[in-house]
Amino acid sequence: MLPFQLWYAVVLSVISSLSHIIALTLRLTVYSDEIPPYLANQLLSNAVVFLCGSVVGAFHKVLMEKTLRQTFQDTLRCLSMRMKLEIEKRQQENLLQSVLPVYISMKMKLAIIERLQDCKDKEEQQRLVKDNNFHSLYVKRHENVSILYADIVGFTQLASDCSPKELVIMLNELFGKFDQIAKENECMRIKILGDCYYCVSGLPVSLPKHAKNCVKMGLDMCEAIKLVREATGVEINMRVGVHSGNVLCGVIGLRKWQFDVWSHDVTLANHMESGGLPGRVHITEATLKHLNKAYEVEEGNGHLRDPYLKELNIRTYLVIDPRSLNIQRPPKPRVNDGLKMRASVRMTRYLESWGAVKPFAHLQNRGGFSPDTIVNGKTHFKDIPLRPTPGSKIPESLDESLEEPFTLTTPPISSYKNKSQKSKFDEELHNEMTTTIDELSSKQWSNSEESSSLALWFPKKDLEKQYRALDLPMFKHYVCCATFIFFCIFLIQMFIAKNKRTLGISFGVLVCVLLLTLAVCFIGHLQRLFPEKLSRCQWLAAVSEAVVKRPCVRLPLATITTVVIIILAVFNLCFDDLEKKEDLSCLPYSVYCCILALMACGVFLRLSFELKVLFLTVASTVYYIIIISTKNESFNKYEEFLIFQINSSWNCTDGEVACFGLVKHPQVMSCIYITLFLVTMLIISQQNESCFRQDFLLKYKNHTKQDEIETRENLNRLLLENVLPAHVAALFVGENKKNEELYCKSYDCVCVMFASVPNFKEFYTECDINKEGLECLRLLNEIIADFDELLSKPKFSGVEKIKTIGSTYMAAAGLSGCPGQENNQDTERQQAQIGIMVEFAIALYGKLEGINRHSFNSFRLRVGINHGPVIAGVIGARKPQYDIWGNTVNVASRMESTGELGKIQVTEETSIVLKNQGYSCECRGLINVKGKGELKTFFVCTDMNKQQSMGLS
């Protein structure tokens, strides 16, 4: 019971046992006139008693230490896993909240969590998380906002001269700068479309200065591009359009969510950009009214440059930048002026000097998670400070605080130079472990709601049932230890018993029962030792397994073992007649056997505490009855024998012996010894039970917490992979993050598809009947969601949704390969992606036809497909976005916009590949493609096209 290590306890027990035996031997031999006749047997009996006590104590110590060490290791493993999952989960949350507004992502998570709470089965929960077959609409209407569209004029020509890395760096630096400008002007960037950037002011919280914010941002963007042009000599400019009105904002579909806005006002703002002038901010009359004469304007004449503005008879204006009225500044010296350097290189070098924040840069330091935050397991948004940036300020609006990427409190990176991330993680794990151990103090545990301090039972019946049904693989070792005690008691009985024949018969019967019990426990091991001979006895393994797993099997075996030992312990007291005085000296050893039998009740460490109390109480009561009533005469004779020995040795009278208390009554002392051991065994049993229940409760809490974290981690991963492709998202979370550099990847052969529903624009109206367009978007959400469901089919596992642009669906095939594999793919595999994309387009037609039947509409799909090299990357600091660029993407977009309803238009190169795969293509002829001139295109012939043609005719 003392807190000694095992070796210290063994050494102390050996020293104390030997000291007692040596002292007793010297006293009865050297310092005694007459050597007792049974001295050898007494000394051997003492040695057996000490040996039995030491071995049983060591057995208890070893098993308890093993249990505690296993508990510590399990707890450490669980805590380590929990912390890693917690870190990864928070990285994913930060990543998710960097892409979607917080209120949208939280609403999505709550909706899925509610569905998971209704499902108790863990496998069913995982299936629900993976399938995600719900078509919830996360769209909200906002009034009085301003929409800004901006396009970089001349960027297409510049991009054609860029390497993949240069293009991604250039876009990230430009749009990172625009994100910074948006933050300064309280604008929320919505999306990046190629080199087009659009944002809204007044979301998600209404702002009275929304028009001023957008106009100021547009002027700042034009100024930033002007500085680039002056410094690099590259002819690029900015064309900005702004309109004020109402929007519907949110996300639609099931995959690759991107925050977007819809309304007629958004369409008008888009046309304001296309009808604007380079270097100027083009605004409508609605925006001008909200400016309250904050800026001087001049006539914009947008109707002369854009037919949509002319059709709606929109009067437009051009904002005069107050900075242009000041004295002109001398132009800044150009970068490497005079050197013959490509324009893209000059641009890249100059833009890198801006030092735009890289996408997901706030996820770089996993060490930034404070132990307190992890230990408490609670993260409130208000407790998470925003990432500090040069010149940063406290957010003045909810929009700014919601849109800023979340990061946990992180010391400067330089503070980590002398400390590896592993050592930091180990330190946090140590703090977590220390806190957990402190919380497991008996006082806190006994006062917890999961335990009862009196009966040691769990108030929750399910918890108590689980505890009692635990597997007990160590049970066979308990029986082995009890068998050892049985043989020790038998040896002592052999040394002191007079009626050895009766003892032998009793031992033979009892040992057969005990060995049979032992055989039942180890019968499975026998089959493993002799597999050939016992191959037909398959039931042996089942019996051995039942002992480990079923309490209803273990309890009878433990009861039989304990009863056998208790019966053997009282043999001398019941069957030996102690007539001679010399035989009375063996009487204490009968009591010692009873005490050893009490110890046998305690070796079943994981046995029911109530059953152990019952065994100890019944055994002690039996021993009390035998000692006090049955053997009363023998103990009285033994008392007289002790007094006689003292009188003869010390020459004392009987009165003096009684006066000094040199001899206590053996009967009373025997009962006291048994009582002391009874109390000791009860205390040890109670401590063991308390320890094992704490161990179970700790593991239960760990597993419960771990399951909860894993469920939330799976939920975050689901949401995350709905924002980024899985192979890209993996680069920004976990232990092998590679977000120190910009993600950009070049692919040799990717098939790109654009599929649009052009007549949805005619269907979309804003009136009170359809809740100002909300119900129209609900139908669009169903269309996109049905399209997304096709991506979960194994056939289309290689198809990656890129984004939706209004009612246009963009997807690509051939992006899912691991880094370095795409260049080594064989031609057949690359070309097979094109056939898969055509099959996907045909499946989209089928989905849309089904929606038409159920909604009584006549939507038609228009598809354009092209294949070739593309560049993929993640750009944007405040709201990183995955996208693909290249001539292949531009041509695929033109194939869709110049195509015909109900048909799949492809380029000549793509048609050749499809013909080789067995598809028939019909030549359409030469068509004029913007930026490409005359291109020869083809329509893919499908059975659906023929059926639709027949229906139309």
DSSP, res 405: P
Query: Could you tell me the CA-to-CA distances from 349 to 334, 355, 357 in Å, in that order?
Result: 11, 11, 16
| pLDDT digit string, tens, across residues 715-765 | 767 767 777 787 777 776 655 555 456 788 888 899 999 999 999 988 989
Q: Is 173 left (phi over 0), alpha (psi -120 to 50) or beta?
A: alpha
In angstroms, the CA 897 to CA 904 distance is: 11
DSSP state, residue 458? -
Q: Are strands 862-875 and 904-907 parallel, antiparallel or unpaired?
A: parallel
Q: Could you list the beta-strand ranges (E) of 63-195.
A: 138-153, 188-193
**In the structure encoding, which two tokens stand for residue 250, read together?**
């949110």
pLDDT in tens, 76-85: 777 777 777 7
Identify whether the C-beta of residue 404 lies closer than 8 Å to the C-beta of residue 387.
Answer: yes
User: In this structure, are strands 281-284 and 237-251 parallel, antiparallel, or unpaired?
Assistant: parallel
Which of 279, 255, 259, 140 lies closest to 199, judged by CA?
259
**Helical H runs in 651-773?**
654-660, 666-721, 726-729, 760-763
Write the burial class of residue 94 (CB in 10 Å: 0-12 exposed, 13-18 middle, 19+ buried): buried
120 classed as catalytic: no
pLDDT above 50 (res 407): no
Structure tokens at 403: 């849109």
pLDDT in tens, 611-651: 888 888 998 998 888 888 777 777 777 777 666 666 665 55
- Identified catalytic residue from 191, 894, 903, 924: 894
Give the list of residues 6+ apart from residue 260 with CB closer than 8 angstroms, or none: 190, 191, 249, 250, 251, 252, 804
Tokens of 293: 């004469």
Tokens of 794: 């194994």
CA distance 471 to 548: 5
Report strand pairing: 799-805 vs 316-319.
unpaired
Quickly tell me which residue has 């009188």 as its tokens.
Answer: 647
| Residue 854 to residue 848: CA distance in whole angstroms | 10
**Helix axis angle, 609-625 to 551-569, nearest 10°:** 20
Distances (CA, A) of 926 to 907, 912, 945: 10, 16, 21
Residue 588, preceding peptide bond in cis (omega within 30° of 0): no
Cβ pair 279, 245 in contact under 8 A:
no
Least reliable range by pLDDT among 307-321, 418-432, 894-908 = 418-432
Q: What are phi and psi of 4, to 5 degrees?
A: -100, 155
CA-to-CA distance for 889 and 868, rounded, in angstroms? 9
Average pLDDT over residues 150-178: 83
d(CA 429, CA 435): 10
Tell me which of 69, 460, 930, 932 is the catalytic residue. Answer: 930
Phi-psi domain of 194 (left: phi exceeds 0; alpha: psi -120 through 50; beta: other): left
pLDDT at residue 280 in the model: 94
Burial of 256 (0-12, 13-18, 19+ CB in 10 A): buried
Tell me: pLDDT of 892 over 90.
Answer: yes
User: Helix (H, G, I), strand (E, B), or coil: what is residue 374?
Assistant: helix
State how beta strands 316-319 and 744-756 pair.
unpaired
Q: What is the pLDDT of residue 950?
A: 33
* Residue 33 scores a pLDDT above 70: no
For residue 21, pLDDT over 90 is answered with: no
Q: Are 751 and 764 in contact (CB under 8 A)?
A: no
* Burial class for 941, CB neighbours closer than 10 Å (0-12, 13-18, 19+): middle
Task: Tell me what the mean pLDDT of segment 795-819 comes to.
Answer: 85
Instruction: Give the separation between CA 32 and CA 27, rounded to whole angstroms.
Output: 6
What is the largest distance, in Å, between two alpha-carbon atoms of the chain?
138
Cα gap 401→387, rounded to integer Å:
11
pLDDT at 398: 32
Is pTM beyond 0.85? Reply is no
Distance CA 845, CA 903 (A): 9
Place of tokens 């929007």: 247
What proportion of the chain, given as a percentage, has pLDDT over 90? 25
User: Per residue in 237-259, pLDDT tens?
Assistant: 999 999 999 999 988 888 888 88
Average pLDDT along the chain: 77
Q: Is the pLDDT of residue 375 over 60?
A: no
Least confident of 520-524, 820-824, 926-930: 820-824
Tell me the DSSP string of 844-857.
HHHHHHHHHHHHT-
Percentages (nearest 5) of helix, strand, coil residues in the chain: 60, 15, 30
Distance in angstroms (rounded) separating the CA atoms of residues 922 and 905? 9
Indicate the DSSP class of residue 339.
S
Please confirm, yes or no, whether 191 is among the known catalytic residues.
no
pLDDT at 412: 38
Contact 677/595 with Cβ under 8 angstroms? yes
Contact assessment for residue 821 and residue 829, using Cβ atoms and an 8 Å cutoff: no
CA distance linking residue 173 with residue 152, whole number of Å: 13
Assess contact for 578 and 637: CB atoms under 8 A. yes
